[in-house]
Amino acid sequence: MMVSVEPLLRVNDMHVSFETGHGSVRAVDGLDLEVRAGEVLGLVGESGSGKSVTLRSITRILQPNARVKGQVFWRGEDLLRMSETRLRAVRGAEIAMIFQEPMTALNPVLPISLQIDEALVAHTTLGRAARRKRAIELLGLVGIPAAAERLDSYPHEFSGGMRQRAMIAIALAADPALLLADEPTTALDVTIQDQILKLLLRLVDDLGMAMILVTHDLGVVAETCSQVAVMYAGRIAEAGPVEAIFYHPRHAYTHALLNSMPDSSAARVALKPIPGQPPRLDRPIQGCPFVPRCTWATPPCESRPPIVTVGPGHVSACTAAHRLPSRIVPA
Amino acid sequence: MIAATLSRRLPRLPISVFIGLMILFLVLLCAIAPQLVAPYDPLAFDFSALLQPPTWTHPFGTDQFGRDILSRVIAASQIDLQIAFFATTGPLIVGSLIGLFVGYFGGVADAVFGRIVDLVVTFPFLVLVIAIVAVLGPGLINMYIAIGVVGWVFYARLMRAEVQVQRQNEYVAAARVLGYSVPRILFRHILPNAIRPVIVYWVTDMALAILLGSSLGYLGLGAQPPTAEWGVLVADGKNFFTQAPWMCFFPGLAVVVCGLGFSLTGDGFADLLDVKR
């Protein structure tokens, strides 16, 4: 398979801060990210590590008190400096997004048919009848049975899983090249989670889309992603192919994170959480943000570790990168 | 589908709402076809029956020119219903639009809006309206202007608060990320979700508008004689209050009953639309 040279999406040294009454909070602090066509990138991290903010910065839907610096290149154009008009043409048509809460992400007063139709009106030139046909096709594509009958239902008549499917159908309406999925399965129960993930994977394959999947569930990542980026305190800790990250973590945080995962082969073994809390983001962080919780920390960690290449396509910002043991247990 | 919705909701319709709607229906009938309901011509003098107390021939009595009070009260419903509608609908539209914009965009516009609200709510509503009518001069049109200038603030405040809640909802972010224009997001997505408390307030506000319109009519600042308007009728009767109290009583009663009709209906709307107040 040929690897395209220029990535579809390239985030370059992005900083996002929120101006609050108590000073500014640095949610994302110098982030680099690349997504190639057809690739599934898992963006992992704890709550508050900046995953969702990253997605929302890319599409520029943050609250007005957010300051975004850096560059986000989409097919060579900088999204952050794009005009509102051009941006609106990219949103929905080229980059689509689905959300964590299917309960609130659909407009409660409009039937599903109208919400799909609206996306089709905005981004296609189809006529009325063709749009209706396409809407039924889309609902069928995301696995809603009897799509034609369910089309005119309101969101409250759908279950959580069906709403997420409907949300995906709306996002896919204009055939986007990149799907941003912001914890799409967190609000759903486990069996539905699995169905939705399989659906997303199938769609990525069938439609040749790329996807950024934000999650805090490493199991989900292992199942679905080809590339992983681990975030901590608004920075990339480690990024690379999923096997490399899971078997040969080269960042102390990833290592600790993988060790804290429950082991399904041994029941009733105490969990090994990472002690301590993530750092506060409302004051500048000197050096590696993980130092206070890190068992591998050494004096050089007090200055910010550079991101270095540690393997093929595998980068890490950790001074202990080559001291960490490989993991034998597959996740 | 509408029938199905109604049948699901009608059994829950409390008796108070039913009474409210009946009253409004009667008032509306009087306003649309006064000649069908009224027994006499409201302007016809009858010098053989001056200042008659209520009898079977004149159920509400007659005034100093022998005009039938019942017919005049019925004729006045036209003006008063008009006041109830126009004095609230203008503020409803203007206030909702302003509330929608400042609620969504925030920033400087919102700060300015906040100061305007502070300024307006500092004065008692009636005093402010009277002051403006006094400047513009009396008359129905000027009264609408005065009520509109003050009244939009309350609709805008309500709308702004609701929009700020709705704006946080994920469906707004979803609409933005789908590349929809700002007008589309505002009017198609946020407005229908935010309008309910405003609609309820609108119906309740009509009761207040009736009271306000007849107050101003009484003070000679609203509808001008010889236009039949309940407040004007009460003002006409006050000179004969000792001999013919029915001249004041029945138009006053009409104000109370009509106001009650709007209040009961408004409360019913609040329950039906599940708006918490």
In chain A, residues with a C-beta closer than 8 Å to the C-beta of B175 are 107
Q: Could you please report the per-residue DSSP string of B109-131?
A: HHHHHHHHHHHHHHS-HHHHHHH
pLDDT of B1: 47
Q: What is the pTM of this model?
A: 0.83
Determine the Cα–Cα distance for residues A181 and A202; give it in Å rounded to an integer. Answer: 14
In 3D space, the residue among A196, A188, A227, A206 whose CA is nearest the CA of residue A41 turns out to be A227
Q: Is residue B103 part of a domain?
A: yes
The domain spanning residue B150 has which CATH number?
A: 1.10.3720.10
Q: Would you call A170 an interface residue with chain B, using a CB distance cutoff of 8 Å?
A: yes
* Residue contact A92–B174, C-beta within 8 A: no
Domain residue extents for chain A: 9-94+176-260+272-316
Q: Which of A89, A101, A107 sits opposite B179 (nearest CB)?
A: A89
| Residue B136 maps to a domain | yes
Q: Is residue B4 part of a domain?
A: no
| Four-CA torsion A188, A189, A195, A196, nearest 10 degrees | 10
Query: Is A90 an 8 Å CB contact of chain B?
Result: yes
Two tokens, residue B216 = 């101003």
Q: State whether A91 and B192 contact (CB < 8 Å).
A: no
Determine the residue type at B263. S
Task: Give the residue from chain B lying closest to A58, CA to CA.
Answer: B177
How crowded is residue A27: how many other Cβ atoms within 10 Å of its Cβ? 25
B52 belongs to a structural domain: no
| Interchain CB distance below 8 Å, B178 and A170 | yes
Question: Which residues, at least 6 apart from A207, have a Cβ–Cβ distance to it below 8 Å?
Answer: A172, A175
A72 touches chain B (CB under 8 A): no
Does residue B108 lie within any of the structural domains? yes
Cβ separation of B179 and A64 shorter than 8 Å? no
Tell me the sheet residues that pair with B104.
none
Average pLDDT, chain A: 89
Torsional sign, CA B221, B225, B229, B232 = positive
Q: Is the pLDDT of residue B277 over 60?
A: no
Q: Find chain A residues with C-beta within 8 A of B166's C-beta.
A: none
For A87, which residue in chain B has the nearest alpha carbon?
B179
Does A167 contact chain B (CB < 8 Å)? yes
Distance from C-alpha of A196 to C-alpha of A182, rounded to nearest angstrom: 13
B61 Rama class: left (phi>0) / alpha (psi -120 to 50) / beta: left
- How far off is chain A from B188, nearest CA to CA, in Å? 9
Number of domains in chain B: 1
pLDDT score of A331: 44
Of B176, B189, B192, the CB nearest to A61: B176
Question: Which residues partner with A181 through β-bridges?
Answer: A98, A213
Q: Which residues of A touch B180 (CB under 8 A)?
A: 88, 92, 118, 122
B211 contacts: CB under 8 Å, gap ≥ 6: B255, B259
User: In chain B, what are the helix, strand and coil shares in percent, each to the nearest 5?
Assistant: 75, 0, 25
CA distance A325 to chain B (A): 42
According to DSSP, the residues that pair with A231 across neighbouring strands are A236
A107–B171 CB contact, under 8 Å: yes
Residue B125 lies in a domain: yes
Task: Answer yes or no: do A170 and B171 touch at CB < 8 A.
Answer: no
H or E segment to which residue B26 belongs: helix B15-32
Predicted confidence at residue A270, as pLDDT, reads 78
For residue B180, the distance in angstroms to the closest alpha carbon of chain A comes to 7
CA distance A27 to B7: 52
Coil, helix or strand at residue A181: strand
Q: Rounded to a whole number, what is the distance in Å from the CA of A219 to chain B's nearest CA?
A: 26
Rounded to a whole number of angstroms, the CA Rg of chain B reads: 22
Q: Would strands A235-241 and A314-316 be described as parallel, antiparallel, or unpaired? A: antiparallel
- Partner B contacted by A83 (CB < 8 A): no
With 90 as the cut, is the pLDDT of residue B189 above it? Answer: yes
**CA of A168: which chain B residue's CA is closest?**
B174
Of A56, A93, A108, the CB nearest to B179: A93
Q: Which fold has domain A9-94+176-260+272-316?
A: Rossmann fold (3.40.50)
Cβ–Cβ contact A46 with B under 8 A: no
What residues of chain B have any CB closer than 8 angstroms to a CB in chain A? 106-107, 169-171, 173-181, 184, 188-189, 192-193
Domain of B110?
Answer: 21-32+58-272
**A281 SS3 class:** coil
Q: HSE, CB side, 13 Å, CA atoms: give it for residue A245.
A: 29
In a domain, B37, yes or no: no
* pLDDT values of chain A reduced to their tens digit, one per residue, 331 residues: 445 567 899 999 999 999 888 888 999 999 999 999 889 999 999 888 999 999 999 999 988 889 999 999 999 899 999 999 999 999 999 999 999 888 889 999 999 999 999 999 999 999 999 999 999 999 999 989 888 999 999 999 999 889 999 999 999 998 899 999 999 988 888 888 888 999 999 999 999 899 999 998 888 898 889 999 999 999 999 999 999 999 899 999 999 988 888 766 666 777 888 888 888 888 888 889 999 998 888 888 888 889 999 989 999 999 988 888 887 655 4
Q: d(Cα B35, Cα B252) in Å, to the nearest integer?
A: 22
Taking each continuous run of H as one helix and of E as one strand, the counts in chain A are 11, 12
